[in-house]
Structure 1
Amino acid sequence: MALEQFRNIVAGRKVEAKDGGWFPTANPFDGKDWAELPRCGPADAEAAVEAAHAAFIAGDWPALTATKRGKLLRKLAELIERDAEKLAALEVRDNGKLYAEMLGQVRYIPEWFHYFGGLADKIEGGVLPTDKPQMFSYTKREPLGVVVAITPWNSPLMLLCWKLAPALAAGCTIVIKPSEFTSASTLAFAELFAEAGFPAGVVNTITGFGGEVGPTLVEHPKVAKIAFTGGDATGAHIYQQAARHIKHVTLELGGKSPNIIFEDANLEDAARGAISGIFAASGQTCIAGSRVLVQRSVYDEVVEKIVAIARTAKLGDPMDEATQVGPITTTQQRDKVLSYIDVANADGARCVLGGKRPDDASLADGWFVEPTIFADVSNDMRIAQEEVFGPVLSIIPFESDEDAIRIANDTIYGLAAGVWTSSIARAITMSDRLRAGTVWVNTYRAVSFMAPFGGYKKSGIGRESGQHAIDEYLQTKCVWINLADGVPNPFVLR
């Protein structure tokens, strides 16, 4: 049976790789290849950047008013709403996450385009009061230029749109490089831009492997900015490459987020919040609350509650509404998760649930790992310090508020954190002292197009979503106009 084929969009046309190469993509639930994508190389990446640059400097896109740009974004939002079920189903086939989760995400994505569509014609400069007589000075906010958006495999469309919406609202043009593991939904999504009325070349896609197309995209002299979501090691490499060419970057990287449960919390809610923080999306999320810190006085009780809930989790077909935990997206990631479980056992952590591939024969072909919980974890163990990116939870005891802060902040990451308490004073104090870009109190894993998202420390640079995200794609120009006749001494600074 022939595999379904997807093609890239470059300069408004559907294209294959210039050398005719293809590579397969597999369904994590059954391990079978179901589609194939163009295996692009440097020449393809060059063509995509050139198309984006041409669209940025001339033609219909730069001639559009900001108001018309906003209308295009809102039209795109309507098309995403129309095709949400189709796009979500493609994501499930590609990354194995629950259909309920993916459909919820895709149905929420239009809000980013409505929001930033509304901001497009509210990008303002200002008149400057200067100390120079007979001089008029003002500022303009202008788009950076060509943006390369490099996206991961866990939530391809949502994390792409966090970049696309503000970049397009600002007036930039885009080259999208999706993960080689989950490119299909991005290519289907990219077809909507022409239907929405975007000029050719404004949004382009390149599929393939990072080592084969990445250097061209990141180092190309006509690329102004790299917006990347992924692992911190890859992010650091991209940062180094971009720095050599003085490019702007936004990096949303890894996390080892603490989810802190105090003795005065509603323990039932806190236990459910711990489950949501790690086993939703099979732990394959940068904001995963993979370290649950529990106050010693309620430690045993909370561990028991978390294990009891996790034990009931139903593994299965991610398209089935009854399924709660789906497969790992790639075989490489599954093997990495299993290796971390071995490391945790060797380091002396106590495995109280899971710890292996499921025994269910109906899941044998899929890339599953059981929901796994380690208790009595010390924060210096590798399982507590390194990002596993899978359904593996470390539970760590703490004594006091000071102890909780010390443990929570003792990591190279700072993407997110959770606090469970009935004390408003403690909630505010902990939120102030936690070194994380997002802090949730008595909830976990909530995001919004209105709220800035990004990390401290090695969790990244810059922010996505919220009003200020559009600033990541703009630069400021200052204009001086001489209102006087004549030019004074030309050999001295005005």
Structure 2
Amino acid sequence: MEKILNYIDGEYREPQSGKWLDNYEPASGEVYSKIADSDASDVAAAYEAAKNAFPEWSNTPIEKRSRILMKIADLIEENLYRLAEAESKDNGKPLSLATTIDIPRASANFRFFANAITQFSSEAHESVGLQTMNFTLRQPLGVVGCISPWNLPLYLFTWKVAPAIAAGNCVVAKPSEVTPLTAFLLGEILTEAGLPKGVLNIVHGTGPSAGQAIVEHADIKAISFTGGTKTGEHIARTAAPMFKKLSLELGGKNPNLIFGDCDYEKALNVSVRSSFANQGQICLCGSRMYIEASIYDQFKNDFVEKVKALQVGHPSEADTNIGAVVSKPHMEKVQSYIKLAKKEGATLLYGGEAVTIEGYENGYYLQPTILEVDDNTCRIQQEEVFGPLVTLMKFSSEEEALALANGVKYGLSATLWTQNLDRTMRLSKQLEAGIVWVNTWLNRDLRTPFGGMKQSGVGREGGFEALRFFTEPKNVCIQFGDRL
């Protein structure tokens, strides 16, 4: 059986404990590989490799670092189908999605930051009266930790490690133990691209073991984490006494506001996608739909019919819209929320049942599920489910829509459908979300800041925001002339 090894100091290594975790294929429910069950000793080895690599890497000319990142991007593109098949097998997502979104975006992340570091400039301020010149040095932090989630495995793993190494840091990174395969395969690409040994070290294992060891390591200067809010709270408490820099991209319970003056067909079609893409396992999915009363009944009926047409199937099939959810425990969690919602008074409009796929009877397949609610305080409206489940609720005024949208503890994203420019500007300012899409969804420009408000996180990723996070600004003041 295949073993997923750690990548430390430019080579693959077994865990020092000799312990392994089972890795399940969501589509079949079967174990198909073993994952290194790493602990603090493996993290310590990764840290030492990173520490030893840092002096040379941090002083490597930007142009050379850029060329290496570009080579990594090229090799990801060359291995597109191999990586996409691995991602689909490991995560359960449709192969078509991994081929067109996940792996191309992983390549784009390296390519973007390879270019960005060549444009990342320092500020300078001359004070003529004082005869001083102040300029800002932006220096890499040292060894940093990156911990990424299971829903977009290589996509979000590279979203963190690319800016970290581009800025001159060395990294100890942990992908999710639920979906480790593409991060494991990335090690081969890093070696082929000529990334110096120790610059990027990949340690596999669980959060409480390997993840905790990264967070509590006294000499790892910063933590970039994407995952659940509860885990984010734990990381913040652990890191606070050591004054580590933190970037935490956490949970989301994102509103999708649909007004009567919207482009109806576009809003309908995109809302189906924004609700159920990647089995609803995207932090930016619109899991709470609020629809203006004037179009509510028609939109509800049309939405249900569109969702009924979605094909639940094996990820490798070309006509599959909904693949397998990531794990059996996660599927059970989603099912428990469906039962809870009905108990709290929600009406099941469609779905909610497990699906059996011939030949893959033990796979984790679930119908896309639509629930109608009339109480915004019920748990299905307030808590992140992160699966193929969406709620529908009616509103009568702009003020009510805004109150409903903001009436949760999360603030990651929001989507707004309206042709009214004044409403667009008003609500874009008032919605408590780190990103607001108007008449679109999931359009991302890598130059823009990304992150959440409230319990959706701390800090921003993307563009120069990521490079600022992974560097320390230092002011240098030089006096010239003969002024005392």
Sort the TM-score into its range (normalised by shorter chain). over 0.9
The Cα shift of 1:424 comes to 2.2
SS of the aligned residue for 1:168 comes to helix
Hey, what does 2:207 align to over in structure 1? 210
Partners of 2:134 and 2:405 in 1: CA distance: 48
1:255 and 2:252 are equivalent in the alignment: yes
SS of the aligned residue for 2:118 comes to helix
Whether contact under 8 Å (1:316, 1:363) holds in the other structure is no
Whether contact under 8 Å (1:224, 1:248) holds in the other structure is yes
Whether contact under 8 Å (2:205, 2:211) holds in the other structure is no
Hey, what does 1:154 align to over in structure 2? 151
Hey, what does 1:108 align to over in structure 2? 105
Hey, what does 2:399 align to over in structure 1? 402
Partners of 2:40 and 2:228 in 1: CA distance: 23
| Per-residue Cα deviation, 1:344-368 (whole angstroms, up to 9, x for no partner) | 0000000010122125555531111
Which range moved further: 342-351 or 11-20? 11-20
Hey, what does 2:140 align to over in structure 1? 143
Hey, what does 1:295 align to over in structure 2? 292
Which range moved further: 407-416 or 474-483? 474-483
Whether contact under 8 Å (1:124, 1:140) holds in the other structure is no
Q: Which amino acid letter does the alignment assign opposite residue 55 of structure 1?
A: A
Partners of 1:227 and 1:449 in 2: CA distance: 17
Q: Which amino acid letter does the alignment assign opposite residue 274 of structure 1?
A: S
1:177 and 2:174 are equivalent in the alignment: yes
1:192 and 2:189 are equivalent in the alignment: yes
1:159/1:360 CA distance change after superposition, 3 Å: closer
Hey, what does 1:33 align to over in structure 2? 31
1:220/1:404 CA distance change after superposition, 3 Å: same
Which range moved further: 108-117 or 378-387? 108-117
Partners of 1:285 and 1:121 in 2: CA distance: 31
Whether contact under 8 Å (1:53, 1:222) holds in the other structure is no
Hey, what does 1:54 align to over in structure 2? 52
CA RMSD of aligned residues (A): 1.8
Partners of 2:414 and 2:157 in 1: CA distance: 23
1:131/1:50 CA distance change after superposition, 3 Å: farther
Instruction: Choose the corresponding residue for 2:453, options 439, 452, 456.
Output: 456
Q: TM-score, normalised by structure 2?
A: 0.96
Whether contact under 8 Å (2:126, 2:132) holds in the other structure is no
1:76 and 2:38 are equivalent in the alignment: no
Hey, what does 2:426 align to over in structure 1? 429
The Cα shift of 1:238 comes to 0.6
Alignment of 1:4-403 (within 5 A): 4-56=2-54, 58-59=55-56, 61-104=57-100, 105-130=102-127, 133=130, 135-358=132-355, 364-403=361-400
Partners of 1:185 and 1:302 in 2: CA distance: 39
SS of the aligned residue for 1:254 comes to coil
Instruction: Choose the corresponding residue for 2:415, options 418, 421, 431.
Output: 418
Q: TM-score, normalised by structure 1?
A: 0.94
1:471/1:208 CA distance change after superposition, 3 Å: same
Partners of 1:138 and 1:87 in 2: CA distance: 43
Whether contact under 8 Å (1:149, 1:226) holds in the other structure is yes
Partners of 1:202 and 1:377 in 2: CA distance: 52
| Per-residue Cα deviation, 1:140-192 (whole angstroms, up to 9, x for no partner) | 11111212110111101111111122212211111110111111111101221
The Cα shift of 1:428 comes to 2.3
The Cα shift of 1:62 comes to 2.5
SS of the aligned residue for 1:108 comes to helix
Q: Which amino acid letter does the alignment assign opposite residue 46 of structure 1?
A: A
Which range moved further: 283-292 or 112-121? 112-121
Whether contact under 8 Å (2:258, 2:417) holds in the other structure is yes
Partners of 1:485 and 1:417 in 2: CA distance: 57
Q: Which amino acid letter does the alignment assign opposite residue 119 of structure 2?
A: K
SS of the aligned residue for 2:476 comes to strand
1:133/1:429 CA distance change after superposition, 3 Å: closer
Counting aligned pairs with the same residue, the percent is 37
Hey, what does 1:469 align to over in structure 2? 466
Partners of 1:427 and 1:484 in 2: CA distance: 54
The Cα shift of 1:130 comes to 4.3
Partners of 1:189 and 1:36 in 2: CA distance: 17
The Cα shift of 1:206 comes to 0.6
Partners of 2:106 and 2:203 in 1: CA distance: 22
Which range moved further: 100-109 or 443-452? 443-452
Hey, what does 1:492 align to over in structure 2? none
SS of the aligned residue for 2:474 comes to strand
Gap regions ≥5 residues in structure 1:
489-494
Partners of 2:164 and 2:180 in 1: CA distance: 20
Q: Which amino acid letter does the alignment assign opposite residue 41 of structure 2?
A: A
How many pairs align? 483
SS of the aligned residue for 1:121 comes to coil
Whether contact under 8 Å (1:350, 1:377) holds in the other structure is no
Partners of 1:130 and 1:425 in 2: CA distance: 43
Gap regions ≥5 residues in structure 2:
none
Partners of 2:360 and 2:261 in 1: CA distance: 40
Partners of 2:119 and 2:309 in 1: CA distance: 49
SS of the aligned residue for 1:380 comes to coil
1:297/1:483 CA distance change after superposition, 3 Å: closer
| Per-residue Cα deviation, 1:419-465 (whole angstroms, up to 9, x for no partner) | 11122222222212111111111122222323322111111112222
Partners of 1:272 and 1:402 in 2: CA distance: 26
The Cα shift of 1:280 comes to 1.0
1:484/1:444 CA distance change after superposition, 3 Å: closer
